[in-house]
Amino acid sequence: MSAEAPATLELGCGNRKRHPEAIGIDAIDYPAVDVVGDVFDVLARIPGGSVKAIYSYHALEHLTDLERLMSELRRVVVTGGRLNAVVPHFSNPYFYSDYTHRTAFGLYSFSYLASDSLFRRRVPRYVRDTGFRLQDVRLRFKSGRPFYVRHAFALLIGGVVNSTRMTQELYERAFCYLFPCYEIEFDLVRVDEQG
């Protein structure tokens, strides 16, 4: 990894990488993993400003120290670089079944950790500027096979909920336990000190 050719990372890639060009990082030695180790130990060995994109699918909920993670990501991601994280939504009925899940996520979770001009609701900032700006948030509703009717209904609900920021906020405040959300996707961009 070098500043001339920034890398792409996939944190917690597990059994398969969704981005073949990415360097897969996981604590367990699955076939798709390129670097086995604790995420913080691995990130500490990566040179500053050498990563252009980081992807994570159902991995961040296994961590407890998101402030520390954001600090490390701020160091390694180039200005303009991207962080895309998909995590279970706190209303997902399966979230609590997995005893390894440590952190629950909702619509505003990264609003506490990044600058946010998306939502009307303002949340307090407990940490200094993390160097990231929240670009987009999508609540994802789905149901797997063989529940095809339920899946179609989930897609319909998702279309309505994600149609505006106001409907996203209304959903999470008033309807999330009536129609549970499966997962939430956050897109963030690394910004400079003034950005």
Residue 86 covered by a domain: yes
Residue 42 covered by a domain: yes
CA nearest to 87, candidates 174, 187, 175, 2: 187
Q: Kindly state the DSSP code that residue 170 receives in the 8-state scheme.
A: H
Residue 168 covered by a domain: no
CATH assignment of the domain containing 46: 3.40.50.150
- Please say whether the beta carbons of 191 and 79 come within 8 A: yes
What does the radius of gyration of the chain's CA atoms come to, in whole angstroms? 17
- The average pLDDT across 45-52 equals 97
Residue 90 covered by a domain: yes
Residue 172 covered by a domain: no
Across all residues in the chain, what is the average pLDDT? 93
Report the C-alpha gap between 37 and 9 in whole angstroms.
14
Residue 30 covered by a domain: yes
Residue 161 covered by a domain: no
Residue 59 has pLDDT above 90, yes or no: yes
Residue 195 has pLDDT above 70, yes or no: no
* pLDDT tens, residue by residue, 70-99: 999 999 999 999 999 999 999 998 899 999
Q: How many structural domains is the chain composed of?
A: 1
* pLDDT tens, residue by residue, 1-47: 544 679 999 999 999 999 999 999 999 999 999 999 999 999 999 99
Instruction: Return the H-helix or E-strand segment holding 138.
Output: strand 132-140
Domain range for 106? 7-139+182-190
* pLDDT tens, residue by residue, 124-158: 888 877 899 999 999 999 876 677 888 889 999 99
| Predicted model pTM | 0.92
